[in-house]
Amino acid sequence: MAVYQYRNKIREYQNKIGDTLGPPKFSFDVIFLFLNNLTWRFALWGMIALFLPIFLFERFNQSVQNVLIFYIVSGVLFGFLVPLGAKIMSKIGLKKSMILATPFLVAYCLTLYYFASYRLFVFLIFAILTITLFRILYWTPYHVEFAKFTSQKDRGRQIAYLSSFGFIIGVIAPLLAGLIIDQLGFPILFIISMIIIAISIFPLFFLSQVKEEYSFSYFQTFKEAFSRKNRRLLIGYGSDGAQSIVSVVIWPIFIFGILNENYVAVGGITAAVILVTIILNLVMGTLADIKKKRFLIKIGSGLYAFGWLIKMFVASGFQIFVVSAYHSFTGIIRGIPFTTFVYEQMADQGHYIDEYTVLREVSLNVGRVLMLIACFILLGFVGLTWTFLLAAIASLFINIL
């Protein structure tokens, strides 16, 4: 009898270990949603986003401030149109909204192709319009669906495993993009990305039909976003948006200069950094479920802010790799618990999940636009590295959430 009890105890502990360390289970909706997101992000974020600021920097006669204007205009337009996207989502459903968004992302790549080929600035206007339409139609339903379909118990590990697959794919994308640009040029990169993004639409057809009623009016959305009761949400998410936009826009231009304007080197170092962060990403997913998330976010944001300060003194390719690897590590310590916390907050809203998601998007965008404007002003007096100080300060305010 004692032997059987002992065996049952062993099995019980094995199951607990397997539940904690083994791969989490996913619903079919999460899998199809992830396949869609992973496919187009491979093209847009992996191949285009890293090099787009550099592309614009070169086309604008190496004026960083003109690059910032492009992103500011895009951010302001998105901020004003987010509530309209939520209203469209309410009318046609989450699945159809994301399907409708995809052709606009294809059109975005097409406008970049024409701008790269003919250098007519009218194509940049169309680029801003098409990427904005994609963002307002895609991101709110995506986040709502993800919050609904992921498991409350294992959400941290689910996010970690899914993002690890994204990292694996992300190792290939920047290096491949650097080689394509170096050998064939930006127009070919945009065409290849356009084809990949077009393919990404197919998994969306297999998603379950979900409808959400967005109850806020257009002006009520902004009234709620800037209300006193949502002040912490505005500052917390706004800070996250502020520091992230420096990574997206300023950092690629900065390392491009250090690496002697070598596209392959930019892509190669970025790929190497992504490669060394995959394992830690999985570990942090488990911790996000079994430890206090706010504690991890607080520790991670402090370490992450320190990473921005170190970046101010980077002066070589090797230093870029070491500091970027550290920043990625600390970003994961902060990022996985933070992302898990975000989706838990969304899921806890119940009927108001879409309203909360829109307020989050508005807050993130306010942070991005204000940071871009601050960088624009700052660069009139000092160099690029001082924008990293602003990013470091913004990173600390994420803890307000």
- Is the per-residue pLDDT at 284 higher than 60? no
Burial environment of residue 158 by CB neighbours within 10 A (0 to 12, 13 to 18, 19 or more): buried
The answer to whether residue 20 scores a pLDDT higher than 60 is no
Rounded Cα distance between 148 and 33, Å, is 12
- Which DSSP symbol is given to 205? G
Per-residue pLDDT at 349: 61
Contact between residue 363 and residue 234 where contact means Cβ atoms under 8 Å apart = yes
Cβ 158 vs Cβ 146: under 8 Å: no
Query: Which structure tokens are listed for 350?
Result: 């119940």
Averaged pLDDT for residues 109-120:
93
Mapping DSSP onto H, E and C, the string for 104-169 reads HHHHHHHHHHHHHHHCCCHHHHHHHHHHHHHHHHHHHHHHHHHHHHCCCCCHHHHHHHHHHHHHHH
Domain annotation for the chain: domains and CATH numbers:
28-203+227-400 (1.20.1250.20)
Q: Which two tokens stand for residue 115?
A: 């701008």
Specify the pLDDT at position 307. 94
Token digits of residue 376: 């624009």
Cβ(235)–Cβ(375) below 8 Å? no
356, 326 Cβ separation under 8 angstroms: no
Tally of CB atoms within 10 A around 392: 20
Measured distance CA(47)–CA(189) in Å, rounded? 8
pLDDT tens across 177-223, in order? Answer: 999 999 999 999 999 999 999 999 999 999 988 888 898 999 999 99
Nearest 5°: phi and psi at 22? -75, 170
Model confidence pLDDT, tens digit, residues 127-177:
999 999 999 999 999 988 887 877 667 776 777 777 777 777 777 899 999
Q: Which two tokens stand for residue 185?
A: 């040029």
Query: What's this model's pTM, rounded to 2 decimal places?
Result: 0.88
**Three-state DSSP class for residue 273:** helix
